[in-house]
Structure 1
Amino acid sequence: MATPTPSQSLALILLRASLSRSLGFSPVRSTLSDVISAPPTSCSFGAPLIMPNGVLKLSVNLGKKTAANPSGECLAHVTTSSDFRAQLLSLVQSNLDNLVASDLPVTNRRCTRREYEAVNGLALGMNGGTIRTAKKKKKKPKKDEDGNVIPEPPYDAGDDVLYVTRVDGVAYGVGMSPSAGRTGAAGRITVATGEKDSQVTVGRYIEVVVKVQCEVQDGEGGEVEEGIEGGGWETEVDGSMGVGGEVLMRKEVEEIAEKVEEMEVKEVKGEMVVNPWDVSGKIDYNKLVEQFGSVRIDEAMLERLLATVKKIGKVTELHPWIRRGIFFSHRDLSRILDLVDAGKPFYLYTGRGPSSAAMHLGHLVPFMMTAWLQRAFDVPLVVQMTDDEKFIWKGEYKDGDDNLDYFRGLTRENARDIISCGFIKEKTFIFSDCDYVGSMYPNIVRIWKSVTYATAQAMFGFNKHNIGQPAFPAIQAAPSFPSSFPVVLGQGRDSEMACLIPCAIDQDPYFRMTRDVAHKMVPRTHPLGGKPALFHSKFFPPLQGASGKMSSSDDNSAIFLTDSPSQIKQKIMGHAFSGGHETAKEQKEKGADLDADVSYQWLRFFLEDDEKLELIGKDYGSGSGEYWATGMVKKELIAILQDMVAKHQERRKEVTDEVVDEWMAVRKLDF
């Protein structure tokens, strides 16, 4: 019998609640027993499992498909179709995310099995409703010196210690260990979407099996009270934190996307926070420019930039993101243009921290911009994959092993998406820090020598961190210097080659630090004093809108490059925050708030036709014309994203392991 960690116990209880909500029923009694009916729907859950690989598994039997009861009638729509399964798992993930994000208090009580059964008036069965391990090995009997089996003392299951956990209005469960004290302590709970993992089976009986991985698997349990009071601790699950519910009662799965309940988005209060690891609050870009000391891209800069790229002749107009102010701030961009006018070389540098196998649209923004810059200026590019950073911040040790190789594997998966963005292979080098750091190490050491810990602490807020974290900024700074690429760029310490870095503005602190010490890394004749130039973008907003930026840890805040057309439709229709009004009358009278409306803001990124974007903004903002309503704007966005993601997926299919090896090979770039 495996004893679950507090976060695993909590994850299984939250999974129970999420499954209930997503399938459209609210169990009154939510004990985690082998088979406990939950009237009036006659649905029952199996005992949860901790698989050998740490994956958590929970199954629910929805009863006979043809049963003449509320369960049979309301769940008759359940099918084994991939679309239905994808929609269901998406709702389960959404509900899990909402429950974790709500950070609700959790209550634990300790009792014996006998006490529990006496108070609740039911038998828990052999597993006692507790979590058990899959494929449990049978113990070998103990023997004495003569080889005789020593009989085990009589086992009284009534003495088993159980922990009863309750989240008011959400879930109730019995386990072998106390759960964490708040739902937020469960961390990221990720639904396994593979066909051999989470399943929907429709035969004589309907069964749903969901597997999840709990990212946080240690920590302390919440406070524990002694004894059971007040009967079965029955709790009505009101569904107020859930999405889905009646949506999945419909037989036409295609209508799910148009009916998913929009969750209330509460404005994040408090001051704006922008740093490499946290972006929150309402973002004031004017204030950021002032605080960071960068320069706004004005009309004069736009005119000069356009004139320069036209002269080179590779493109004929500026990228829409530049024209529309999405890339809005810079450092020394004018000096880069001076170098171009003088016929002197520069190179591009950007990067990616591989935290998930599936990248989302927000991750594509700097790469799509960088691909345009590479074509426009016909210059080389280096792409840093910071698998070392992700391990330093998010790595884990378990059973004498670590997951560094997991992040190294993500590097190659993310490289496939990056290659699919349209870069010029002969001019592009993608590298893993873990593999390439030796070539950069002399420069890393020089940067370490040049930056005091007090400076790093003031700039990045380092305090109680592992020693790798305050050391890492030097590793991200090193590619800013061409001498870090003696083969790839063919440059030594005497190089005067400049560097331009397109990035979101939250990465600016790394390069402010770099610029402060850059003069120590290059010859005195370097045109920028060794300082890398920066080209800053605004943040790509999450579907929920309001504050911050899109996150990989919240599936329903993002459109991922692995999403299907139906998933894209469901996410936009169900989760994209609307700046419109609740009634048609109000919308036509007042029009939409374009700054708050996520669908319109996303169209600013991905609708290339300036005239059509202007028309949509005019109609939607005034509540008149063809695009007066939210649904029409969302429909336009869905079509664009479905086409864009599908084309990306087709390009990615062509990126084999051999192709990745070629792009990541240390070789002289063509420039």
Structure 2
Amino acid sequence: MPAPDDEEPTVTPYAVRGDIDYETLLDQFGADRLTDEQIASFPDPVHPLVRRKIFYAERDMSPFLAAANAGEPHSIVTGRGPSGPMHIGHVFPFYFAKHLQDQTNTLVYIPFSDDEKYFLKDSSIAEISDHTRENLRDLLAIGFDPKRTRIIVDTADADVIYPLAAAFAKEITQSTVDATYGEPENIGLSFYPAVQAAHLLLPQLVAGRHPTLVPIAVDQDPHVRVCRDIAAKQRYPVDKPGALLSKFLPSLLGPGKMSSSDNAPSILLTDNRETVFEKIRTHAYSGGQSSIDAHRKFGGNPEIDISYQFLYYFFEESDERMERLAREYRDGSLLSGKLKEIAAEQITDFLDAHQKRRAKLGPVEDELAKYRLTDHERRQARRRAGYPDDSFAQL
């Protein structure tokens, strides 16, 4: 549900409330707008999320683009906090990462922050573990290349994540945590920026220095800023990771972030066709008029229509079709009900394909084994973080 007009806007990794002004966030976070020149530098074909500026801001992205275009080593890190079922707003950064991996053999690292969600949510360890397993099935269904992808689960990969986080924690003061995130609710969240730094620097600690890009929603940018400060101290053999920051997929009920933790309905990756059509028909906020006659006379506004926005963000590849839909909606020849049907059809086609791949997966443990860090990669990461080869982490 859209936030009340008088609610103070808040955008942090742990809370998004109020009316979101994306331009103000750039000034607040100190990020740069994504330029047309940078968009043109992405490998062709440029993903719709980039060319339509859903990914709208960046930090130090040029080294990544240069390496990707030159066929040199480069990596992406984009993770998942398993606090519940995944919805369509969660998945598009991963499909974007898969797109780049297919284009340029990008190395993709996907950390699962199961410990953070336990610190943050009123959920048991067992509940978070269940969400982790189901979320893993959705990520595995995307079809990443196992040779070029590593999936890390914090509690399962503590032998590498904790030593790295312990090293980086010494670089972060409590005052930095408080100023960046607000006062933490518990000491787990105080420590967690060090864990996030371990995630973001892990590709370089495994494979050596190379450009790394973090494509994430804009609320997660504080993690990148803290990590870049650690890398800038040059105490470790890593370069500062770049960032590509996205807008939020809006809620069905109107402008704002789609969230599985509030009362607004979300379209889940496991929803069937009937459920998706019902959610779109019943809940999708319309930019049309109050009657068919008024709509045909005055037209609708695609900029606030959620069905149009879902198509624009992710579910319609063709720019020409999006332009035609916007034109027909504005002139009143395309009705709101028909636009909802188009969006529901596109979303269900996407989900049908995703769910078929998901259903073909074997047991999670067997599927995940292909994406785990190898023993050699674990040793390399610990060694580059300063641990000797005979450290107790090897036992």
Aligned equivalent of 1:220: none
Moved more, 334-343 or 561-570: 334-343
SS at match of 2:157: helix
SS at match of 1:383: strand
In structure 2, relative to structure 1, the CA distance for the partners of 1:406 and 1:663 (3 Å cut) is farther
Q: 1:644 aligns with which of 350, 360, 367?
A: 350
Which structure would you say has the larger RCO, counting Cα contacts within 8 Å and 6 or more residues apart?
Answer: 2
Alignment partner of 1:390 out of 98, 110, 117: 117
Q: Give 1:611 deviation, angstroms.
A: 1.4
Report if aligned partners of 1:443, 1:521 keep a CA contact under 8 Å in 2. no
Match for residue 505 of structure 1?
Answer: 218
RMSD over equivalenced CA pairs, Å:
2.1
Match of 2:153 among 424, 432, 453: 432
Secondary structure at 1:450's aligned position in 2? Answer: coil
Q: CA deviation at 1:522?
A: 5.0
Residue identity opposite 1:532 in structure 2: P
Ranges in structure 1 where 5+ consecutive residues have no aligned partner: 1-100, 102-264, 310-315, 397-402
1:318 and 2:46 equivalent? Answer: yes
**CA displacement 1:29-62 (0-9 Å, x = unmatched):** xxxxxxxxxxxxxxxxxxxxxxxxxxxxxxxxxx
Q: What is the alpha-carbon distance in structure 2 between the residues aligned to residue 336 and residue 280 of structure 1?
A: 32
Question: Structure 1 residues 291, 554: closer, same or farther in 2, change over 3 A?
Answer: closer
User: Whose helix fraction is larger, Structure 1's or Structure 2's?
Assistant: 2
What is aligned with 2:87?
360
Kindly state the Cα deviation for residue 422 of structure 1 after the two structures are TM-superposed: 2.7
Partner of 2:241: 532
Q: Which amino acid is the alignment partner of residue 117 of structure 2? A: K
Equivalent residue number for residue 136 of structure 2: 415
Inter-partner Cα distance in structure 2 for 1:575 and 1:395: 27
> Is the partner of 1:557 in helix, strand or coil?
coil
CA–CA separation in structure 1 for the residues paired with 2:291 and 2:71: 59
Q: Match for residue 282 of structure 2?
A: 574
Aligned residues: 374
Work out which of the residue numbers 67, 75, 88 in structure 2 matches 1:339: 67
CA distance in 2, matches of 1:649, 1:340: 31
* Residues 72-83 of structure 1 mapped to structure 2, 5 A cutoff: none
CA distance in 1, matches of 2:327, 2:99: 29
Q: Any conservation in 1 of the 2:31–2:58 contact (CA below 8 Å)?
A: yes
CA distance in 2, matches of 1:379, 1:511: 19
Q: How much has 1:389 moved relative to structure 2?
A: 0.7
C-alpha spacing 1:466/1:595, structure 2 compared with 1 (3 Å): same
Judged with a 3 Å threshold, the aligned counterparts in structure 2 of structure 1 residues 633 and 267 are, in CA distance, closer, same or farther, namely: farther
Distance 1:365 1:441, change over 3 A: same
Residue 295 of structure 2 corresponds to residue 587 of structure 1: yes
Q: What's the offset of the Cα at 1:636?
A: 0.5
Q: Does 1:630 align with 2:336?
A: yes
TM-score (norm 1): 0.53
The answer to whether residue 329 in structure 2 is matched with residue 602 in structure 1 is no
* Cα pair distance change 1:461/1:587, threshold 3 Å: same
1:349 Cα shift?
0.8
Change beyond 3 A, Cα 1:613–1:267:
farther
Contact 1:477–1:514, Cα closer than 8 Å, also in 2? yes
What secondary structure does 2:250 align onto? coil
**Residue 455 in structure 1 maps to residue 180 in structure 2:** no
Aligned to 2:101: 374
Write the mapping of 1:263-302 to structure 2, written as runs, cut at 5 A.
267-302=4-39
Residue equivalent to 1:129: none
> Alpha-carbon deviation of 1:587?
1.5
Going from structure 1 to structure 2, the CA distance change for 1:478 and 1:266 (only over 3 Å counts) comes to: closer
Q: Which runs of 5+ in 2 are unaligned?
A: 378-395
Following the alignment from structure 2 to structure 1, what is the Cα–Cα distance between the partners of residues 269 and 37?
36
Which is higher, the Rg of structure 1 or of structure 2? Answer: 1
Contact 1:482 1:497 in 2 (8 A): no
Kept after mapping to 1: 8 A contact 2:147/2:371: no
- How far 1:519 moved relative to its partner? 2.6
What is the CA-CA distance between 1:392 and the residue it aligns to?
1.1
Aligned-partner Cα distance in 2 for 1:335–1:266: 38
- SS of the residue aligned with 1:430? strand
The 1-side partners of 2:64 and 2:269 are apart by: 33
Q: d(CA) in 2 for partners of 1:289 and 1:665?
A: 35
Counterpart amino acid of 2:352?
A
Residue-by-residue CA offset, 1:436-489 (whole Å, 9 max, x unaligned): 1221233212221111111110110015x211111111111112224775xxx4
CA distance in 2, matches of 1:522, 1:374: 30
Per the TM alignment, residue 267 of structure 1 is displaced from its structure 2 partner at its CA by: 4.9
- 1:348 is aligned to 76
How far apart, in 2, do the equivalents of 1:266 and 1:285 lie?
A: 16
* Correspondence 1:161-310 to 2 at 5 A: 267-305=4-42, 309=43
Letter in 2 for 1:502: P
Contact 1:297-1:328 at 8 Å conserved across structures: yes
- The 1:523/1:434 distance shift into structure 2, 3 A limit, reads closer
Aligned-pair CA distance for 1:665: 2.8
Paired letter, 1:647: A
| Corresponding residue for residue 557 of structure 1 | 265
Is the 8 Å Cα contact of residues 591 and 623 (structure 1) preserved in structure 2?
A: yes
SS of the equivalent of 2:355 reads helix
Which residue of 214, 224, 228 maps to 1:515? 228
Question: SS at the partner of 2:258?
Answer: coil
Alpha-carbon distance in 2 for matches of 1:631, 1:406: 39
Please say if residues 267 and 546 of structure 1, whose CA atoms lie closer than 8 Å, have aligned partners that are also in contact. Answer: no
SS of the residue 1:352 aligns to: coil
Is the alpha carbon distance of 1:442 and 1:662 closer, same or farther for their aligned partners in structure 2, counting shifts above 3 Å? closer
Question: Where does residue 201 of structure 2 map in the other structure?
Answer: 481
8 Å CA contact 1:395–1:404 kept in 2: the answer is no
- Secondary structure of the equivalent of 2:156? helix
Contact 2:71 2:104 in 1 (8 A): no
2:152 partner SS? strand
CA displacement at 1:338 relative to structure 2: 3.0
- The answer to whether the 8 A contact 1:319-1:372 is kept is yes
Partners of 1:482 and 1:641 in 2: CA distance: 34
Taking the aligned partners of 1:294 and 1:266, their CA distance within structure 2 comes to 25
Find the aligned partners of 1:550 and 1:288 in 2 and give their Cα distance.
Answer: 18
Q: Is 266-275 or 404-413 further displaced after alignment?
A: 266-275
Structure 2: distance between partners of 1:583 and 1:448: 59
Output one character per residue of 1:188-235: Cα deviation in whole Å (capped at 9) or x when no partner: xxxxxxxxxxxxxxxxxxxxxxxxxxxxxxxxxxxxxxxxxxxxxxxx
CA distance in structure 2 between the aligned counterparts of 1:376 and 1:481, rounded to whole angstroms: 23
Aligned to 2:367: 660
> Given that residues 511 and 532 in structure 1 are in contact (C-alpha distance below 8 angstroms), is that contact kept between their aligned partners in structure 2?
yes
- Is 1:469–2:177 an aligned residue pair? no
For 1:650 and 1:339, the matched residues in 2 are separated by 34
The 3-state SS of whatever aligns with 2:267 is coil
Q: How does 1:17-96 map to 2 (within 5 A)?
A: none
- Distance of 1:378 and 1:457 partners within structure 2: 38
Asked if the contact 2:254–2:306 (Cα under 8 Å) also holds between the matched residues in 1, the reply is: yes
Give distance in 1, aligned partners of 2:362 and 2:61: 36
Deviation at 1:661, TM superposition (A): 3.1
